[in-house]
Amino acid sequence: MTGKAARLIFWLGTLVSAAIFLWMTYDFHLQTPKYTHTDKLTEEVVAGKKVWHKYNCNDCHTILGFGGYYAPDMTKAIYRLGDNNIASIVQHPEVMYKNSFRKMPQLGITEPETRQLIAFLRWTSEIENRKWPPQDEKFVEAYKLRESQPQKLDKVHLVLQACGGCHTFEHQGRNVGGDLTAIANRITYDRQTLINYIINPQSVRPGVTMPPQDVSLQTAGVIADFVLSLRSTKEVKQ
């Protein structure tokens, strides 16, 4: 090969690749409103993105798969955890991860910041990124199903999704608020009181640490039925 041919390879390779790349960048900008729903990209979402940066969340958590690998990916976190769980976690990590093998720092995030962060994560969760990460897809489907038709849900699934952020059930879920079977055997509430308790715990037991749950009356009813069904019946001695 001559020196001239080598130079030609250099310029041709570089320029061809750069041209393709720049064209694809142009097209990326044309298409990004469609893939990321920029019409929903409100000031609240942008404020939430600033909160995400301010507390350096991204150096422990990945988002879209990028960042630190020390904590779960946040791309679809809304579907996995729901608004209330995220709020509880970011404001009281020391409580939520009291029994966990891995801790999250108490960052001092304010309430308005928490709301903005949730708006940001909700917007992020709707980015059309080919159903990635794969392990969260089941949460996405369950969430959408739950939103559309709560009466048809598998109860165990529903309870684990909604309550599993704090309660365990058959060794699954995060153990902050106690095991559901144990609770079912402890409480003396009837169905309606339990529904009231789920929607606003303070109205039934002032001072309790459980946060109000953002669920419809119908969903609360499904959960209450499930919890009450866990009560063990007394064995009949023969």
Partner 1 sequence: MKTIEFESQRVSLWYFRLALVLFILQVIMGLWLSINYAFTLPQELVNVFPFSTAREIHTNTLVAWMLLGFMGGTYYILPPECDRELYSTKIAYLQLIIFVAAAVTAVIGFLFGWTRGKPLLEIPFPLNALIVVAALLFIANVAMTIIKAKVKTALQWMLLGGVTFLALMYLFGMPFYRNLNTDYYYWWWVIHLWVEGAWEIVTASIMAYIIMRVTGVERKVVEKWLYVETGLFLFTGIVGTGHHYYWIGAPDYWLWWGGIFSALEPLPIVLMVVDTWMHVRERKNPIVNPLTWYYIVGLAIYHLVGAGLWGFMHTLPPINRYTHGSQITVSHGHLAFFGAYALLNLTIFYFAMPRLKGITKYHDTAGRWGFWITTIAMFMLGLVFGIAGILQTYLERFLDIGYSTAQQTMMFWFRVAFGVGLVFLGGVLTTIWHLFTLKPSDKLAPEEVVVPPAANI
Residues at the site binding partner 1, with contacts judged by CB under 8 A: 1, 3, 6-7, 9-14, 16-18, 20-21, 24-25, 27-29, 31-32, 35-36, 38, 41, 46, 49-50, 52-60, 62-70, 72-73, 94, 97, 100-106, 120, 124, 127-130, 132-135, 138
- Rounded to whole angstroms, how far apart are CA atoms 32 and 133? 19
1 or 236: whose CB is closer to partner 1? 1
20 or 182: whose CB is closer to partner 1? 20
- Rounded to whole angstroms, how far apart are CA atoms 2 and 226? 79
76 or 146: whose CB is closer to partner 1? 76
- Rounded to whole angstroms, how far apart are CA atoms 66 and 73? 9
38 or 216: whose CB is closer to partner 1? 38
- Rounded to whole angstroms, how far apart are CA atoms 159 and 219? 10
Cβ 65 to partner 1 shortest distance, Å: 3
**Which residue, among 36, 65, 64, has the nearest Cα to 128 in the 3D structure?**
36
Strand spans (E) along 121-204:
167-168, 178-179
Report the alpha-carbon angle 49-167-91, nearest 5: 30
Write down the residue that tokens 């609240």 correspond to: 44
Cβ 12 to partner 1 shortest distance, Å: 7
Cβ 226 to partner 1 shortest distance, Å: 21
Give the residue ranges of DSSP H helices in 39-136: 43-54, 77-91, 93-96, 111-125
Cβ 26 to partner 1 shortest distance, Å: 12
- Could you write out the DSSP letters of every residue in 149-205? -GGGS-HHHHHHHHHTTTEEBTTBS-TTSEEHHHHHHH----HHHHHHHHH-HHHHS
Cβ 20 to partner 1 shortest distance, Å: 5
Cβ 61 to partner 1 shortest distance, Å: 9
Cβ 123 to partner 1 shortest distance, Å: 8
139 or 197: whose CB is closer to partner 1? 139
81 or 184: whose CB is closer to partner 1? 81
Handedness of CA 163, 167, 170, 172 (dihedral sign): positive
4 or 234: whose CB is closer to partner 1? 4
